Structure 1
Amino acid sequence: MASRDLFESLKTFVEVARAGSLAGAARVLRRAPSAVSRELGALEERLGTELVRRTTRRLQLTAAGERYLTHARGILESLDEAERDLQEHGVPRGALRVSAPTVFGPAVLVPWVEAFLRAHPEVSVELVLEDALVDLMQGGVDVAVRIAPRLESSALMQRRLGLQPYVLCASPAYLRERGTPRRARDLSQHEVLVPMRGPSARPLELQHAGRTQEVRLGRSRFRSNSLPALHVAARNGLGIASLPEYLVAPELESGALTRVLPPLRPMPRHISAVYLRRAAMPAHVRAFLDFIADRAARSFPARD
């Protein structure tokens, strides 16, 4: 079967699956039902398996047909995207759906998106803020920005954006009342505010001079899975917090928060952009990835 014939067969199969009947597909394709039936039969013969189970009233996809339909749709969508990209001569144009963490999104990504939209007036962006890992296919997401202690292993395409530094900090009032820790092990005697994972707080990993040590923490009287909540708690004197540097930079500069154990730094988090694997990436998705990669290179270190 020639490539053009295969392309037409894929379109026929997808339309048959959508319409649920040969007659319905024939009307949309403007062909005779017998021609649609022959096209479908030729495709099944080429694959050596039955894709559609024919009954007197309606067609039903077999298990193999369901699997093949997913691939066929993906191939046709990729070809459409490639054609649009060439027709547009690579000009970024269209709607972009982006997912990002609830704190990083407003504080960091929104200014980047604003600059991107100014540079690309024919692109629109819908930003969805969520901390859970979103299914890109199911959620219709073009790009998801993710932040994790380590780079994830995934079938998705991934572009590294940099490392998000963290700092230990506390209010001057807390340090006056409880004292300033001098060594990492002193933290076990303090209220340490770190994000929770499930019912317990995450262990604290600190780095210094290329070495990493894990610090055992006592049970803090205030716990939360929210970085903004821990940020406010640290400002209000509830403990020593491990927070993203970008989030607390204004208070560190003003003196509202004080850096604790300056030679030691909590483990940074990897920032990455993930997206679906496509035969041809749309121009506006590629432009957005390039744009945020450039901005991230200016704002976050590439390595620890």
Structure 2
Amino acid sequence: MAGRDRFESLRTFVEVARAGSLAGAARVLRRAPSAVSRELGALEARLGAELVQRTTRRLQLTAAGERYLTHARGILEALDEAERDLTEQGVPRGVLRVSAPIVFGQWVLVPWVEAFLRAHPEVSVELILEDELVDLVQGGVDVALRIVTRLEPSALVVRRVAVQPYVLCASPGYLREHGTPRRVRELAEHQVLVPLRGPAARPLELLHAGRTQEVRLTKSRFRSNNLPALHGAALRGLGIASLPEYVAAPELASGALVRVLAPWRPTPRYISALYLRRAAMPAHVRAFLDFVTERAAKHFPPDLD
């Protein structure tokens, strides 16, 4: 089988796997379903393995098909990147798909994307905002930005972009009614508003000058998985909130919120960019990673002490 035909067979198989049917793949490839079926059959005959189980409703990949799909995608991506590298000649161009957490995306990333688009007129950005990490391959995502205390090892490349500091703050009304804590251990007697992650008894970790201190929050009556809800609850006097500094900054400046226990801070989170390991990174992806890293260095403090 000639080299070009082998690449066409790979593309056909990948599209069949994505569409889940011969008809769906045929529509995308602009070919007759019978031609797609013949090419898939020829590929299986050459490999000596069944890649797809054919049912009346949908095609299902076999175990061999799942393994071959991973290799096929990698080969086609490397080929596409090599062609883009030659045609782009280093000029960022094309559609960039970026995934980011909802609040960070709305409050911080959108202004950065605006500046990035102005600097790179031949790039378009598709921004997907969701708090769960997406499958970069299935979602066609080029770069995923995530804000975590740590990342588990994975096949993805991780570039640490910046450190995002957090602050403890409360409304003046809450502090008048319940008092202002002067020591870290006093937080255990207060309503502390923290994200809804893990068990309720999970301790709050505070840092200062290289020292760490933990407090178990046994009396907190309000928790939420939504950052704006925690922000709003703090403004309404429901408790002391642990918030990203960029979220609380306007109210700290106006006096609507007051920082508590300074200079102690909740454990910071790391802003990291995740992307697939590639033989040749497309120019528009490289440009975005460099741009975001530069912007983050200006937006976030270099250290927390």
Asked if residue 196 in structure 1 is aligned to residue 196 in structure 2, the reply is yes
Q: Is the 8 A contact 2:190 2:219 kept in 1?
A: no
Change (3 A) 1:66 1:183: closer
How far apart in 2 are the matches of 1:41 and 1:188? 64
Q: Which amino acid aligns with 1:9?
A: R
Q: Which amino acid aligns with 1:253?
A: A
How far apart in 2 are the matches of 1:228 and 1:203? 22
How far apart in 1 are the matches of 2:126 and 2:170? 36
* Residue 176 of structure 1: aligned partner: 176
TM-score normalised over the length of structure 1:
0.82
How far apart in 1 are the matches of 2:148 and 2:14? 40
Partner residue of 2:6 out of 2, 5, 9: 9
SS at the partner of 1:200? coil
Q: Which amino acid aligns with 1:243?
A: L
Q: Is the 8 A contact 2:100 2:127 kept in 1?
A: yes
- The residue correspondences of 1:30-179 to structure 2 (distance < 5 A) are 44=47, 50=49, 63-179=63-179
Q: Is the 8 A contact 2:202 2:217 kept in 1?
A: no
Change (3 A) 1:237 1:282: same
How far is 1:98 from its partner?
0.9
How far is 1:109 from its partner?
0.5
How far apart in 1 are the matches of 2:248 and 2:44? 65
TM-score normalised over the length of structure 2:
0.82
How far apart in 1 are the matches of 2:194 and 2:62? 51
* Residue 225 of structure 1: aligned partner: 225
How far is 1:291 from its partner?
0.5
TM-superposition CA deviations, 1:155-198 (whole Å, max 9, x none): 11111001110000011111111111010111111111111115
SS at the partner of 1:103? helix
Q: Is the 8 A contact 2:252 2:259 kept in 1?
A: yes
* Residue 241 of structure 2: aligned partner: 241
* Residue 205 of structure 2: aligned partner: 205
* Residue 296 of structure 1: aligned partner: 296
Asked if residue 256 in structure 1 is aligned to residue 245 in structure 2, the reply is no
SS at the partner of 2:217? coil
* Residue 266 of structure 2: aligned partner: 266
Q: Percent of aligned positions with the same letter in both sequences? A: 71
How far apart in 2 are the matches of 1:50 and 1:143? 35
How far apart in 1 are the matches of 2:257 and 2:180? 13
How far is 1:302 from its partner?
4.7
Q: Which amino acid aligns with 1:285?
A: V
Gap regions ≥5 residues in structure 1? 29-35, 54-59
SS at the partner of 1:220? coil
Gap regions ≥5 residues in structure 2? 17-21, 32-38, 53-59
How far apart in 2 are the matches of 1:175 and 1:130? 34
How far is 1:77 from its partner?
2.4
Q: Is the 8 A contact 1:144 1:273 kept in 2?
A: yes
How far apart in 1 are the matches of 2:267 and 2:169? 14
How far is 1:42 from its partner?
10
How far is 1:96 from its partner?
1.2
* Residue 33 of structure 1: aligned partner: none
Q: Which amino acid aligns with 2:279?
A: A
Change (3 A) 1:17 1:140: closer
SS at the partner of 1:158? strand
Alignment root-mean-square deviation, CA: 3.4
Change (3 A) 1:134 1:40: closer
Change (3 A) 1:263 1:283: same
How far apart in 2 are the matches of 1:41 and 1:177? 74
Change (3 A) 1:18 1:155: closer
SS at the partner of 2:163? strand
Change (3 A) 1:79 1:194: same
How far is 1:51 from its partner?
6.1
SS at the partner of 2:271? strand
Change (3 A) 1:85 1:126: same
Q: Which amino acid aligns with 2:260?
A: V
